[in-house]
Amino acid sequence: MTTPTPSEIYSPGLEGVIAGETEISTITGGLRYRGYPVVELCERSTFDEVAYLLLHGDLPTSAQLTSFNQRLAAAQKLPPVLSEVLTKLPRDAVPMDVLRTGVSILAHYDPDLNDSSKPANLQKAERLLAQIPLIIAEYYRATKGQAPVAPKPELSFAGNMLYMLNGKQPSKEDAKAFDVSLILYAEHEFNASTFTARVVCSTESDLHASITAAIGALKGRLHGGANEKVMDLLLASGGPDKAEKWIRDALARKEKIMGFGHRVYKTGDVRARVLKEYAKQAAQRAGTTQWEVAAEIIEKVLETEKNLFPNLDWPAGRLYHAMGLEVPLYTPFFVASRITGWSAHVIEQLEHNRIIRPRSRYTGPDEKPVKPIGQR
């Protein structure tokens, strides 16, 4: 067998391959969005500010934030046909599939759909940022036989998301915890869904098509869907008294433990460490601290036995459970946040676009003659 040339070297899953350049975020030396450490963003800003940062390039002034929020408030409406569709979809449909369909329908009603200039894409991105929470909330309430709840312009993005789901204004503590989770989910370099969005727009397809494809990529349990599996895992563990035996038995069976490990972070995910404290506080408020104790036991076993550390999905699933949010909503929340990062990457890709078209290494048979059908 011949040794492959440098251009033929294969890296499964593109691990370690530099597939492009970006100014949006980096994980080198700690996760930063456009230069700002994500830990500081969680401490000193809101998701509304971070959304502006990712889309427009820097943190907003008070005036810029006010104008941004006014534009979002003006865009918080769905075409009547989409609202009607949401009431007629099966009540047991997968919410991520509903979101994918919803964004695709929105494309038909966006006045800037076929304009891929930066100003137009920014307008489309802001509209999607405003509209995606409406799709999530309207469909959720439709499955309960409940009418939609109109957003309140005085609430934050996070506060409105929670308010539109259940019609109750969230506590300050829950709104802050949810806001932090959105900041942490907003952007993460060339992950699978972001790369999908960049591939699609590199063909000069439109923003809505790129986001629809990204939602499809995020749905998978090895990407965004992992946060939905966290509570399944914890509930299966049986609680603090049984957690250690359960996780050791699971390891013996070579089961994949969702919420742990990361392609890039080998010594722990800083985002998980930040959100862990909010998950603990939410569990204390909800009286569900037994799952935090069980989670701690599982973390210690996986660190000791497998050198595996939690990723962001591990505390996120627990936080949302403690807040009383239903599991099928967890990955859609990811979309409501990551629409900012995806859109920023689409805009960046198009600024210096070259179609993304890698090669493959052929492993099939050598050349064979085509025999007439009677001789086969």
- What pLDDT was estimated at residue 18? 86
Distance in angstroms (rounded) separating the CA atoms of residues 165 and 148: 8
Residues of the chain with CATH 1.10.580.10: 22-220+327-351
Continuous segment of H or E residues that includes residue 25: strand 25-26
Distance in angstroms (rounded) separating the CA atoms of residues 36 and 40: 7
Q: Find the catalytic residue in 262, 269, 321, 345.
A: 262
Cα of first residue to Cα of last residue in the chain, in angstroms, is 30
Residues of the chain with CATH 1.10.230.10: 227-322
Locus of tokens 């456009």: 34
Local structure of 197: helix, strand or coil: helix
Decide if 321 is catalytic: no
CATH number of 22-220+327-351: 1.10.580.10
Q: Is the dihedral of CA 361, 367, 370, 375 positive or negative?
A: negative
Decide if 262 is catalytic: yes
- What pLDDT was estimated at residue 1? 46
Burial of 56 (0-12, 13-18, 19+ CB in 10 A): middle
Architecture field, domain 227-322 = Orthogonal Bundle (1.10)
Which residues of the chain fall short of a pLDDT of 50? 1
- What pLDDT was estimated at residue 267? 67
**What global pTM score does this model have?**
0.93
Q: Find the catalytic residue in 269, 313, 321, 345.
A: 313
Q: Find the catalytic residue in 56, 97, 112, 223.
A: 223
Burial of 343 (0-12, 13-18, 19+ CB in 10 A): buried
Decide if 352 is catalytic: no
Q: Which of 135, 92, 65, 54 is nearest to 333 (CA)?
A: 135
Buried b (16+ CB within 10 A) or exposed e, 19-31: ebebebbebeeeb
- What pLDDT was estimated at residue 258? 83
